[in-house]
Structure 1
Amino acid sequence: GIWSEECCKIYGVSQKECVQTYEDWLSFIHPEDLNYVLNIHKESEKTLSDVAVSNRIILKDGTIKHIFSKSKFELDKKGNAIGLYGITHDITDRKNAEIEREKMTEDLIHRNKELEQFAYIISHNLRAPVANILGTTSMLNDEELSEEEKTIFRRGLNESVIGLDNVIKDLNNILEVKRGVRETKEKVCLSELVNDISISIKNRIDEDHVTLVCDFNAIDEFSTLKSYLYSIFYNLIFNSIKFRRPTIPCIIDIKSQRTNNKIILTFTDNGLGIDLHKRGDQVFGMYKRFHANTEGKGMGLFMVKTQVETLGGKIGVMSEVDSGTVFTIEFNL
């Protein structure tokens, strides 16, 4: 093949190193774009139509570029293809600007959703204690109340104030999580993380005869905020212990998988489970509890989801009553 000086410059080669074969040219195509490019070329060969394609290339020094190519088939007198010629544009700057713009748009949409959610949380969870305080204060102004009745109302007022204070503390914790993303990321070893958590709750694990089964062979280390990941693992492990079935040994299975440029973490237990048909939309809600005879106030899974999303991840759940629960977390690497 004959390449212009500008085309050689785009591909980072000299004209002496100019690509000679179709296979040589394919070696520059980004692996994730290769099938896409090949399919377009195969389709165009069937009808000998013009080829227009945008894709990434990887130069010999590892630099990734975005290019746009437009090609035509050269035909002989019988209409048979005997060659291919065309032009190539380096659109890296434009593409990077588009990617950055899309990222900013996604970030703004995400932040707007967070603000809406936070506004809902504030209005929903502050309304009850504030209403109780206003109602109790109004009753205390009744001059006909006996001292005994006033004492009862004062006690109720105190409980409402404590409740309001707890809600404010919880909201502050949520804000701290969202601000904490400014922390520095570091390499975190998953097996060491689980070991640290196991040591911290060793008494509970021993008392409740809990078995932790971990498989991090696919990927045991990635870069993230260690404090958040520790909290996520701790809450999910502790939840499985809290909501175990008392009639069978508690088994918690934690596994990592690597798919393309993502890490998938699964937490599987054989506990009480959740009726997702009735409560599916409430699993990650604030102050949502599904089993009356266990301790806690329903903040654990809400904080897990908040921390996962703050780290740019996603979390999902599958569960059946008396069959256990599976939480799946996905992070970009």
Structure 2
Amino acid sequence: MEEVDKENLPKILIIDSDDEHLESLKKILSKLKVSIYEINSGDKAFSLLLRHEFILILLDVKMLGMDAQEIAQLILDNKKNNHIPVICMTTNNKDESQINQGYNLSAIDCLSKPINKDILLSKVEIFLHCFNKEKKGEKEKIQEELVNQLEEKNRELQKSQLAALNMMEDANEARAALVKLQAKELEQFAYTATHDLKTPINNIESYLTFLKKDTTINSEKSLIAIEWIDKSVDHCKKLIQNLVTVVKIKEESSFDISSIDVGSILKTVLGLLQSEIKQSKARINVDFKRCPKIRYSVPHLESLLLNLLSNAIKYRSSNRALEINISTVNEDGYSLLSVQDNGIGINVNRDREKVFGLFKRAHKDTDGTGMGIYIVNETLKKFGGKIELKSEVDKGATFMVYFKH
């Protein structure tokens, strides 16, 4: 800590071959807030002058070894030190040759030994005052430059922020225009899907009915083809219906929301899935005691449960009996509906986008349009709700649906 303080104080260098005089000068100057470096040989001066910046040098004219002339020349030759004021010390104030020698060394003043304490302190204080004043001026200049730089940076930042805000406004306008355009295109596509596509599909379905009734068709390949066409037609009809649903969700600004008894809606859905549940031998556990009612739209809640339960059945594991747990609780301003299964599970980190995306499926080895969960998610967003997924491969999946109170 002392070394750090010494380094931060103004530095004075005393060069005198008389050790006793060195100690005396050091004692006098110790009353000032300065850092004192004393050496008794000119040979040591070079090293110190390279490593430190001094505000004043006290130099004995009658030095031993490297004489005062050499030391003075060393100071003058170095650009780093040639501005440092030098006070020469002579042994006799009446010896004009020594005084002249001091001034010849480019000294700004001369003091004779024995050094008068008060005179020395007053002279050194003058240099210290000038130094502090100069440093203060430099500090104020630096501060002024920093303030100017900061103001300039602030102006640049304000310009950047303004440009960013303009870009955001432009982006928002572009996004709004794009949404309108997409909605219109989607609406046009839905119209095409419900009118232009329905007609040929209905024609195929009618012709398929005749083929099914034709008892002369006995070929195994023909029967397989008829079955495949039947499934494809059914898939197309579901796809068209889902597209229409997506458009309706995008266009609808409000829904008929009411407090719904979850148990009664689930009963309806289980009735619709009766055949699938029986075939899969699924065991379904229900717990609605903690939150028996949910504020939502009746048809949308039916669609949601139908999608989640049919997915649980569709993606069951062949290694264990299917078990589905359905429960509700109140949590942080939401009614939380959980549908948990022990099926094949999903790699959430890899396939999350596929689960919630349009026309995307995490598992491609089963039938589906890739729109069910997308529709559920988009509808929930309209209500201020959300859906989350937790899953591990070969352990099952849990869909957590949050309905705003």
Q: More helix by proportion, 1 or 2?
A: 2
Larger radius of gyration: 2
User: Which structure would you say has the larger RCO, counting Cα contacts within 8 Å and 6 or more residues apart?
Assistant: 1
Q: More strand by proportion, 1 or 2?
A: 1
TM-score, normalising length from structure 2? 0.41
